[in-house]
């Protein structure tokens, strides 16, 4: 199938990009494996006009609005290969579809790598979280912990007392010093150096953490900054330039969201140094507009 624009990834960024392009009457196919980063959370918060909606409701609303445009198509599949071709780019999917596109927007998101501590993964997005603006309000006025995964966790620990009494678990590895330590103490943060070996609780609820020295500290919410990883093979196939951030690697883009390969754009968490649903929508919108302009001015 020949299309104007192929969008790989159909969540906040990909569908926001699609909206601009179908309104510009371009033939757009979105390939989506329907596994968004926030799939572990019951609701999305902090997104203008969408506060409290479930990820599924947001996706369904976006798709219903896009399907009103005749040049939109969703393919529920996974893109497995992509290469430059005379028309632009040719992509193939796991189910054997072949698409030829003049431009491509990558919006595949990233993968979170959580510390391998029992009790973390199963409560991720519920009472083990990373973003206070997304889920912090729901954990207000509880005893809260920050599990340090890098020195970035000091910044997080300094913020969390706005939601509840905070303990920074340094894991014996990331110990704040000097002004950073003084700032944390002035914010009322308690420090605990014995590493967390297990997160305790019932079902989705955190009730405490077991430390290596055998003590248990009661908490009802735990913040963890995950490492982010680019896991899609498409990025290597296209030989895209990568940029390092304190959270992990992202695809390097310019202000118009074009990557180091002409005609390939990247939006959302995949290329955003600051990541949330709103930033993903904004960058997808920019990519959509930029692709439309490039179809006019760069042909
Ligand atoms: C637990 C959790 C809760 C969160 N809660 C909030 C919140 O409340 N509010 C908020 O603003 N932000 C929240 N976030 C952040 C938010 O989820 C992300 O910023 C946002 O999802 C990024 O959107 P995206 O479109 O870039 O990528 P994603 O939403 O991750 O979507 C990427 C899509 O691409 C698809 N895909 C990947 N590879 C392929 C392929 N090869 N072929 C086809 N499709 C592919 C995936 O299946 C997926 O559907 C949360 C994050 C986490 C981890």
- Verify that 189 and 233 share a domain, yes or no: no
Ligand 1 proximal residues by C-beta, below 6 Å: 8-14, 31-38, 40-41, 44-47, 78-79, 107-109, 112, 124-125, 131, 134, 232, 268-270, 275-278, 280
Q: pLDDT, tens digit, for every residue of 18-39?
A: 999 999 999 999 999 999 999 9
Query: Rounded CA gap, 285 and 62, in Å?
Result: 13
Residue 116 has pLDDT above 90, yes or no: yes
- Verify that 172 and 195 share a domain, yes or no: yes
Q: 182-197 in b/e burial notation, b at 16+ Cβ within 10 A?
A: eebeeeebeebbbbbe
- Verify that 287 and 155 share a domain, yes or no: no
- Verify that 29 and 47 share a domain, yes or no: yes
Query: Rounded CA gap, 171 and 148, in Å?
Result: 7
- Verify that 239 and 107 share a domain, yes or no: yes
Indicate the pTM of the whole model. 0.96
- Residue 37 Cα to ligand 1 midpoint, Å, equals 3
- Residue 27 Cα to ligand 1 midpoint, Å, equals 24
- Verify that 54 and 149 share a domain, yes or no: no
- Residue 118 Cα to ligand 1 midpoint, Å, equals 24
CA distances from 72 to 23, 30, 64, 81 (A): 10, 8, 11, 22
Helix, strand, coil percentages in the chain from 3-state DSSP, rounded to 5: 30, 30, 40
- Verify that 86 and 15 share a domain, yes or no: yes
Domains contained in the chain, number: 2
Give pairs for 149-154: CB < 8 Å, separation 24+. 149/115, 149/174, 149/224, 149/225, 149/226, 149/227, 150/174, 150/225, 150/246, 151/176, 152/225, 152/246, 152/247, 153/223, 153/225, 154/180, 154/184
Mean pLDDT, residues 237-256:
96
- Verify that 44 and 104 share a domain, yes or no: yes
Name the residue range of residue 233's domain: 2-112+227-297
Query: Rounded CA gap, 279 and 17, in Å?
Result: 12
pLDDT reported for residue 56: 93
**Which residue, by CA, sits nearest to atom 27 of ligand 1?**
109
pLDDT reported for residue 299: 74
Q: Which of 13, 15, 38, 91 most suits a substitution to test ligand 1, by most atoms within 8 Å of the C-beta?
A: 38
Q: pLDDT, tens digit, for every residue of 120-140?
A: 999 999 999 999 999 999 999
Q: What is the CATH number of the domain that holds 218?
A: 3.50.50.60
């Amino acid at each position: 199938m020949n299309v104007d624009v192929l969008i790989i990834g159909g969540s906040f960024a990909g569908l926001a990009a699609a909206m601009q392009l179908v309104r510009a009457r371009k033939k757009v196919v979105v390939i989506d494996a329907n596994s968004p980063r926030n799939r572990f959370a019951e609701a999305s918060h902090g997104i203008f006009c969408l506060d409290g909606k479930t990820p599924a409701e947001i996706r369904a609303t976006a798709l219903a609005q896009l399907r009103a445009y005749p040049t939109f198509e969703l393919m529920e599949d996974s893109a497995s290969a992509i290469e430059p071709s005379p028309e632009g780019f040719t992509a193939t999917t796991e189910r054997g579809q072949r698409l030829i596109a003049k431009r491509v927007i990558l919006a595949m998101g990233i993968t979170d790598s959580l510390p391998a501590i029992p009790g973390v993964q199963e409560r991720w997005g519920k009472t083990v979280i990373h973003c206070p603006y997304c889920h912090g309000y729901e954990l207000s006025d509880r005893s809260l912990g920050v599990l340090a995964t890098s020195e970035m966790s000091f910044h997080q620990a300094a913020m969390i007392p706005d939601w509840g009494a905070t303990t920074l678990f340094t894991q014996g590895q990331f110990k704040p010093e000097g002004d950073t330590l003084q700032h944390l103490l002035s914010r009322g943060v308690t420090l605990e150096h014995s590493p967390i070996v297990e997160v305790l609780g019932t079902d989705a609820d955190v009730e405490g953490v077991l430390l290596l020295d055998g003590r248990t500290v009661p908490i009802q919410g735990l913040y963890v900054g995950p490492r982010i990883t680019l896991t899609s093979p498409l990025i290597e196939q296209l030989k895209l330039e990568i940029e390092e951030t304190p959270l992990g690697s992202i695809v390097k883009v310019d202000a118009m969201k074009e990557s180091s390969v002409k005609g390939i754009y990247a939006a959302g968490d995949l290329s955003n140094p600051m990541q949330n649903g709103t930033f993903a929508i904004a960058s997808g919108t920019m990519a959509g507009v930029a692709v439309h302009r490039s179809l006019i001015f760069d042909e």
